[in-house]
Amino acid sequence: MSGQQQFPPYSQQPPYSQQPPYSQQPYPPQPAYPQQAHHQQALPYAAPPAAPYGQQPPPHPYVPQGTAPAPAQRRKSRAPLIIGIVAIVIFALVAGLIVTAVVMKVSDRRAKEQMALDFFAAIQRADAATALSFASDPINDASLLTDAVLKKSAEIAPITNVQVKRSTDDTVTLTMDLLEKRQQIQYDVVKRDGQWKMVQAVKTFQVLESDYQGVAPIINGAKPMNPKALTVFPGVYEMTTGSPYLVWMQPQQYFLLGIPSNDPIFGLQMTDEGKDAARTLLMNKLDACVSSKDLEPSGCPFGTKLNAGYALVAGTVRWSLDEPAEWRAGADGPYLTGYLTLELRLRFDYRHDGKKGTYDKSSTIDLQPKADLRTKDITIAWK
């Protein structure tokens, strides 16, 4: 046919030098199915005409045009994937531990601060037993750690508006209102059996006996079991002597404990009532002495004796003061002491060698009486 290129028969094509002939494996001729030709798709290459029967077609491998054979792929190593997974797991564990540690630290800090607030809440409502439960160590003397003592403190000057300012591993700093002043105190805290406790829930003040000057203190109406060691909660305390004649130099003392710490200040002062009582007692005693009809009045700072051979005429003794007595006394703690000058006159009748005589002389006596007001029954030492 014209316009068409004629392919020579396979017998005229040059042989393939690269492949050996298929003489060992003859292919039988394939039957043709013309009735299915219109269902077949055209291949992307021209199929050669069938070779005559009995002839072996040259080898012609089937390779679709435009498609290169896929190179053989090496199996990828799974080590990077495993390492990545392990790294992620380790990171997650570390992050989890860090988060857990932070959460636990925050929770622990809040527990510590709340404990300090709960302690002062117990103080405020005069709940001594609950307040004591926050103490880090056992308490030996609880004679001042009672509801009644705490209630009295609240009546004198309540602790209010307690807040946490900051906290560290072993301290909690609180601010509070007391005595019309904003106070800031740092308290030591410690864990006991997994629970936070106040190291300074109470404090024991050691007091020298000489500080009391022989007067036992009464604190918020209670007598301490051991006056030489006062154990108290934070708060305000009213110290009294039990006598209307004496008061403490600082009758109201507040102990917030913690840091800074304030120790109690002791020292007695005599009240005007005490001074007047001591003066009155001394002058009454002096009047009684002057009024005595004895040459040696009992309990008086003066007296005389008759020499041998002289006999007192009974009922003739007369003591008197030429000048009114004045006691120039001042207070020294529980004592009122000072100088007292007596211009004293003595008259009496006597008998000597059968004769009657009269003794009438004046003398000056300098005294330094001392009134002791440590008890309600004042005592006078004339000296």
Q: Tens digit of pLDDT for each residue in 203-248?
A: 888 888 888 888 989 999 999 999 999 999 999 999 999 899 999 9
**pLDDT value, residue 105:** 60
- Both 286 and 261 in one domain: the answer is no
- Both 253 and 307 in one domain: the answer is no
- Both 329 and 354 in one domain: the answer is yes
**pLDDT value, residue 66:** 53
269, 304, 330: which is the final residue of a domain? 269
Per-residue pLDDT reduced to its tens digit, 77-134:
777 778 878 888 887 777 776 655 555 567 889 999 999 999 999 999 999 999 999 9
Per-residue pLDDT reduced to its tens digit, 270-329:
999 999 999 999 999 999 999 999 999 999 999 999 999 999 999 999 999 999 999 999
- Both 119 and 235 in one domain: the answer is yes
Tokens at 206, concatenated? 């050691």
Per-residue pLDDT reduced to its tens digit, 172-214:
999 999 989 999 999 999 999 999 999 999 988 888 888 888 8
- Both 159 and 259 in one domain: the answer is yes
- Both 147 and 243 in one domain: the answer is yes
- Both 208 and 286 in one domain: the answer is no
- Both 192 and 327 in one domain: the answer is no
Helix extents (H) in the chain: 79-124, 128-133, 147-156, 209-212, 272-290
Average pLDDT, the chain: 83
Range of the structural domain that residue 315 is part of: 272-381
Contact between 204 and 141 (Cβ < 8 Å)? yes
B/e letters for 117-147, b = 16+ CB within 10 Å, e = fewer, are ebbbebbbebebeebbebbbeeeeeeebbbe
203, 235, 269: which is the final residue of a domain? 269
State the total domains in the chain: 2
CATH number at residue 211: 3.10.450
CA angle centred on 180, ends 175 and 181, rounded to 5°? 40
